[in-house]
Amino acid sequence: MKAAGLFSVRMRAASGTRHLSGAERIVPFGLVSAVLGQFFERAWSKDLTPDEIVLTVEPLGDTAIQERDALPFLDVPADGEAECRKLASIALQGAGVSLAAAEEAFQALEHGPSPEGSAMRGAMIMDSRTGERMEPDRARGIRVSRFDWSDEASRRITDELNRLGLTHFRTREALALATKVAHAPGIVAELCWSDDPDYTAGYVASPGFGYVRLPLLKQQGKTGGGRAFFIDNRSFALDAFTAYLTLQPVVITKAGRCSRTTDMTIALF
């Protein structure tokens, strides 16, 4: 697919130095102004009124767009934080992350991965064998951008997730982000839980088995959280990884299988 006539539309809202919300789409010219309106409403609907909303419209010109199938989605309704983290660790190790690296990531997300012990503005990059941090800036990290669902895939994934009772827009957006990440050169796996104190669910994703949602990777009310991208250091080039994740437009044109299981290991391995 060529990007001619397509636009990257992005929104970020902040209160002082605090980031409140962000969203993005890839749409044709005719939808740009409607999406800007939706983003404005989304930015304004948060509990805190932003004092800055930045809306960006960027023509994608001749850039070739990558089309991808969504990762298969598996919901694992496990009980309690300890059980969810244990399952996340098993999934990460099944994807090729060492126990030491998985534990390094849990510690970082638990205590705040930035040098100040707070959330980062993007994701950590971690060596999947040693757990060594590889992102050049530990407060900023790396931020995935320029991805979206096609209309058809968006309808289908929304229906599928609704069928599982997962109606929060975050699930669909996180699945899109994880799908883009799963195609990054050198990626092994991803771990995420939100820094939003009201959102306790998180996920592990890998190119091999897809996206695994776990309902309680942290306790309600806690602000810690973040993302870790685990990479294979033998086939990793920071420039190519960063250029792909930040600049390469990716549209997900096919929704994947969505299912639920109480036995994650049987479903995955």
- Residues in touch with ligand COA (CB under 6 A): 10, 12, 19, 22-24, 54, 56, 121, 140, 143, 145, 170, 173-174, 177
CB 170, min distance to ligand AMP, A:
7
CB 235, min distance to ligand COA, A:
26
Binds 226: which of ligand COA, ligand AMP, none (CB < 5-8 Å by kind): ligand AMP
Residue 170: which of 11, 4, 23 has the closest Cα?
A: 23
Residue 39, C-beta contacts closer than 8 angstroms, at least 6 positions apart: 9, 11, 23, 55
189 belongs to the binding site for ligand AMP (CB under 6 A): no
Binds 134: which of ligand COA, ligand AMP, none (CB < 5-8 Å by kind): none
188 contacts 231 by C-beta, under 8 angstroms? yes
Q: How big is the site for ligand AMP, counted in residues (CB under 6 A)? A: 13
201 belongs to the binding site for ligand AMP (CB under 6 A): no
Closest to ligand COA by CB, 14 vs 164, is 14
Residue 266: which of 70, 76, 85 has the closest Cα?
A: 76
Q: Which amino acid is at 234?
A: R
Tally Cβ neighbours within 10 Å of residue 112: 17
CB 172, min distance to ligand COA, A:
9
227 belongs to the binding site for ligand AMP (CB under 6 A): yes
21 contacts 46 by C-beta, under 8 angstroms? yes
CB 223, min distance to ligand COA, A:
13
CB 266, min distance to ligand AMP, A:
28
110 belongs to the binding site for ligand AMP (CB under 6 A): no
249 belongs to the binding site for ligand AMP (CB under 6 A): no
Residue 13, C-beta contacts closer than 8 angstroms, at least 6 positions apart: 19, 20, 21, 22, 43, 44, 46, 50, 52, 53, 54
Binds 19: which of ligand COA, ligand AMP, none (CB < 5-8 Å by kind): ligand COA
Give the whole-angstrom CA distance, residue 230 versus residue 182.
10
Binds 180: which of ligand AMP, ligand COA, none (CB < 5-8 Å by kind): none
Distances (CA, A) of 39 to 21, 29, 43, 55, 62: 10, 16, 6, 8, 25
In 46-185, DSSP assigns E strands to 52-59, 66-69, 73-75, 124-127, 147-149
122 belongs to the binding site for ligand AMP (CB under 6 A): yes
